[in-house]
């Protein structure tokens, strides 16, 4: 009984760990995209504002 519950807990933790990795990757990609968009906006829009 105790071993089964321990294995179940381990499985749940593994699932959370795998999903956490996916979520972290998604956040990193999203932040990267935002920075790229901001950089492109700065490159394209700022010269027009200064002229």
Is pLDDT at 49 greater than 80 in this prediction? no
Helix, strand, coil % in the chain, rounded to nearest 5: 95, 0, 5
Q: What is the total count of domains within the chain?
A: 1
Summarised one tens digit per residue, pLDDT across range 6-46 is 999 999 999 988 899 899 999 999 999 999 999 999 888 87
Q: What is the pLDDT of residue 1?
A: 58
Q: Does the structure show a pLDDT above 90 at 2? A: no
Which structural domain range is residue 12 located in? 1-48
Confidence of residue 51 (pLDDT cuts 50, 70, 90): low
pTM: 0.52
Return contacts of 25-34, CB within 8 angstroms, 24+ apart: none
Return the pLDDT at 30: 97
């Amino acid at each position: 009984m105790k071993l089964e519950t321990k294995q179940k807990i381990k499985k749940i933790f593994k699932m959370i760990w795998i999903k956490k990795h996916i979520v972290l990757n998604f956040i990193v990609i999203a932040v990267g995209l935002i920075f790229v968009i901001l950089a492109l906006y700065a490159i394209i829009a700022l010269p027009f504002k200064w002229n």
